[in-house]
Amino acid sequence: MATPDTDQGGKRATPAPRAPGLPGYNPMSWRRFWLVIGSLLLINIVITTIIEAVTQAPSVTIPYNVFIAQVDAGNVLNITATGDSIVGTTRKAVSAGSGQPSATSFATQRPTFASDGLEASLLKNKVSILAEPPNPPTPLWETLLFSFGPALLFVFGLIYLMRRSAALAGGGAGGILGRFSQSGARLYNPEHPETTFADVAGIDEVKAELVEIVDFLKQPEKYQRLGGTVPKGVLLIGAPGTGKTLLARAVAGEAGVPFFSISASEFIEAIVGVGAARVRDLFQKARGAAPAIVFIDELDAVGRSRSTGARLGGNEEQEQTLNQILTEMDGFDPHEGVIVLAATNRADVLDVALLRPGRFDRRITVPFPDRRGRLEILKIHTRHIPLGADVDLGIIASLTAGMVGADLRNLANEAALAAARREAQTVMQIDFTTALEKVELGSERKLSLSAADRERIAYHESGHALLGLLQPGADPVRRVSIIPRGQSLGVTVQSPVDDRFNYGEDYLRGRITGALGGRAAEQLVYGVVTTGAESDLRQVTAIARQMVVRYGMSPKVGVLSLADDGDNPGQSLTLTRSYSEATAALVDEEVRRICEECLQQAVALLTGNRDKLDALVHALLEHDTLGEAEILAVTGIAAPVETPVAVG
């Protein structure tokens, strides 16, 4: 650890303050410098004024007619004319009038309309005449001073600042320009870690992978005595918000070593070569503080594949930066104790050189948390929130399938804000429900809907809800509402009892049937469909197409995978197909067939349960929003037996 500088007497020497952006900049010394310059200028002005006042004879301004009279009287010795301005001296003192000061030096102005034969009178009285041009040329010294002075001052000033900053920075190359090559990585205090593994939940299997890294940094001899070496690099791959950065900081907190954190985009600068210099600076600092951890967030900003065809000027700087990262990681001594952690959500675009053994040897996928994981994450984010007696975090965890840690933290915060708006002392379950609707669907909209529109929306949402109750194996209906939120005029909330990781064909068909429940209800009751099913139809089409081209759930297409999007199901299908036009037409035909069959099933189910549909609509029109228990009571349908996996 660095120790404070001390003087010879043992007292602490106070370092000179430095201004941001300039190494070694001392505002006190510069203040003295400008004070001296200002004092010299002031002294120069004062002395010049005094000398002019002492050496210059007193002068008076006289009227032109007095001047003519003095010429005729032979009292004028000489004059100097500049245009119509005349100055001169006389033998005897003159004045502008009685009671006015007098002097032998005078000045006057000849009127432009004068025609008094002044020249003849001056020659007659033997007056010495001197004429000067109205606009005399600028002296050479003044021209040189104002032409080259500012440029010379700037050049010498810049040289002075660069030499001074370089000297105060310990002779480091670059001085001011060297500031560009500094990495700017943030160093977290290893003695007082802000984050440990206790702050990370829901991804226990990932934490287990990183325990070995922590153990190596704490006990390197345990591995080195057997010839083992820790991975040089660990790449964390996962969707945004899954906790990649949090994991990296937790590793540093557990290991108790310096943690250098930087975003990959901070390497890139407009000046070519700066990115590579910043990489060198970062790794030099890490080696000096070893054992240490270097964390590079959003690695894909500089680590994109170099085999993508033509590259422009900005890409050249990116490629140089990437090459420097590869070189630095290759140059690690296995015994240095410097480990590189990196995070990305686009591992598919990274350069293959980054992923080979010897660079990022270990790749860890940070998954979406399951129900148990979400419960643990909610417990962490509600540690400092006073919860009401009715709050059940297990239920909230089951309602938030697909949410990551960042989403759950935002949900807890929104629930606290909702309770604050009610001026409540604790956060209740209703606050979490309100927050969940706001996060997923948006804020409530105050729309003036007619009675006919409200009824049509109620039938649409009731169709979704009723089919969710009637289909075996469907996700339970948690809530149905006809209050407009975000872009929707109503909403039906369904969520599984436990997370699903494998989907059967019957479940997917049930999803399509439930999504078509709104369209089926409108068709059954009104005989006319509306635009309200737009988002439902997009969802239905996507599921049906995946069933045909990805999962082989079409007898006519067969057990083929026609998807061209690699291993990432979250990406959309590519525009270039690897199959014929005839197969494409068959795919479209099968997608349409599945959707039509599910729509017919939806209409049949609603027709056979029309009384339950009408009862649910009347309850919705009266209360606007119905919970799960109220929906079951209105329809008279028994709740399915739930056998969730134990959590806690």
Distances (CA, A) of 82 to 79, 106, 134, 445: 10, 14, 5, 83
Q: Token digits for 427?
A: 């956060």
Q: Locate tokens 């890490």: which residue?
A: 286
Q: Which helix (H) or strand (E) holds 613?
A: helix 610-623
Q: Are 437 and 482 in contact (CB under 8 A)?
A: no
Q: Token digits for 606?
A: 């609603």
Q: Which helix (H) or strand (E) holds 261?
A: strand 259-263
Annotated catalytic residue within 266, 414, 461, 590:
461
Q: Token digits for 233?
A: 């690099």
Q: Are 261 and 188 in contact (CB under 8 A)?
A: yes
DSSP 107-159: EEE--TT--S-HHHHHHHTT-EEEEE-SSPPPPHHHHHHHHHHHHHHHHHHHH
In angstroms, the CA 16 to CA 567 distance is 58
Q: Are 35 and 81 in contact (CB under 8 A)?
A: no
256 C-beta neighbours (distance < 10 Å), count: 16
DSSP 361-385: -EEEEEPPP-HHHHHHHHHHHTTTS
**DSSP state for residue 198 in the 8-state scheme:** G
The residue length of the chain stands at: 648
**DSSP state for residue 387 in the 8-state scheme:** B
In angstroms, the CA 69 to CA 619 distance is 117
Q: Token digits for 45?
A: 């002005």
593 C-beta neighbours (distance < 10 Å), count: 14
Concerning whether 212 is annotated as a catalytic residue, the answer is no
Q: Token digits for 288?
A: 């000096």
> Which amino acids are annotated catalytic?
461
